Amino acid sequence: MRHALRYTVLLLGIGTTMAIGWPVGAQGLTQQAIGFYLTVIGKPTVVHVGQPAAMPVKLRESVYFKDVIETQADSRAKALFDDDSILTVGENSRVEVSEYIYDPANNQRSSVLRMIQGKARALVGKLFAGLGSKFEVHTPTAVAAARGTYFVVWIEEKASRKMGLNEIGTVRPVSVQGPEVAELQAGGTGVANIGSSGNVAFTSGGKTVEVPPGSYAFAPPGMPPFAPVIITPTAPPGVTGAIASTEVPDVPQPESPSQVVTALGQGVVPLVGAGGPIIAPPPPVLPGLTPPSPISGAGISAIINTPGINLLCGVVRVCQAECPSCAE
């Protein structure tokens, strides 16, 4: 990890090392970052603790503990944290970094994101086995806990179409037997697991269901989640909309020839006019490191190739190279 643990506080009686970030002037502490913004679209804003005035989010600026990130229509923001997790805040959303503990020496990471409204996605590529390690997104009525996967959480703004015994399967509360008919109620929480591995533990109304890769689940306010359903083109608009509206590609960064050669593992910069370099394949991703494709924002297309899932063809236009079965 390229970011060092910059600032630690020993919690007396607990012995936990906590990496926290505060902006300059907040409670007299030195500015410390816990991540930075990879991509900024539109005009998202952030409120730092101790500085109530909202500030524009800028590319490559730092993220701090207790930051509240807010977006409006047509604005989004993607941030990379020191533990290699990635948060994307969709439009018309408000998310607070309410807890951030990162202690690589003890294999510990505890992150809690509090989403007040809107939608967000998170890539949690690394697993931490240290005591108390977790990665959770909290909404006013539910909790989504990731276990090494890529997922979207949203708060339903308005009721969506009803679901029951139909082409996408039986949808009913886990505590109810029989073909109950339900709908995506306004104020409820939805979770879509768009990763290729790892489950999301989705808790609401005192009940928890495991949402596997390529599936989604929904919980009306105060009620248990419905049984998970496979994501298909016929999924409710709230599901497909949350996935599509949180997909944000990284902003390409210019690189010098030397940087490109170094990144590819080449030892010598080719001479100008030599006909171009022979580029070797990039080195494989080492175990434990975040793979590059999800970082690049491959959200909807990231799980098109999940076995048994023909994801969202016809819902969101993708090129034939990404989805050969989709006709133009």
**Whole domain around residue 115: which residue ranges?**
8-245
Q: Would 309 be classed as within a structural domain? A: no
**Beta strands at 215-219 and 189-193: parallel, antiparallel or unpaired:** antiparallel
Q: Residue 159 above 80 pLDDT?
A: no
In a domain, 201, yes or no: yes
Give tens-digit pLDDT for 61-112: 999 999 999 999 999 999 999 999 999 999 999 999 999 999 999 999 999 9
pLDDT digits (tens, 9 = 90+) for 264-276: 454 444 444 444 3
pLDDT of the residue at 183: 59
For residue 76, tell me if it sits in a domain: yes
User: 292 in a domain, yes or no?
Assistant: no
Distance CA 305, CA 323 (A): 8
The domain spanning residue 204 has which CATH number? 2.60.120.1440
Measured CA to CA in angstroms, residue 109 lies from 80, 85, 131, 192, 235 at distances of 14, 10, 9, 23, 33
Given a cut of 70, whether residue 283 has pLDDT beyond it is no
Tens digit of each residue's pLDDT (9 = 90 or more) over 207-233: 999 999 999 999 999 999 999 999 998
Bridge pairing between strands 108-117 and 134-138: parallel
| Sign of the Cα pseudo-torsion (265, 271, 277, 278, in order) | negative
pTM of the predicted protein model: 0.67
Mean pLDDT to the nearest integer, 36-56: 94
Rounded to the nearest angstrom, the gap between the alpha carbon of residue 66 and the centroid of all alpha carbons in its chain is 18
CA separation for the pair 152, 23 (Å, rounded): 28
Q: Is residue 37 in some structural domain? A: yes
In a domain? residue 303: no
pLDDT at 257: 53
In a domain, 137, yes or no: yes
How many folded domains does the chain comprise?
A: 1
| 254: in domain | no
User: Residue 119: exposed, middle, or buried by beta-carbon count in 10 A (0-12, 13-18, 19+)?
Assistant: buried
Q: Higher model confidence: residue 250 or residue 312?
A: 250
On whether the CB atoms of residues 251 and 39 are closer than 8 A, the answer is yes
Q: CA distances (Å), 166 to each of 169, 175, 212, 240, 308, in order?
A: 5, 20, 20, 17, 19
- CB under 8 Å to 284, separation ≥6 — which residues? none
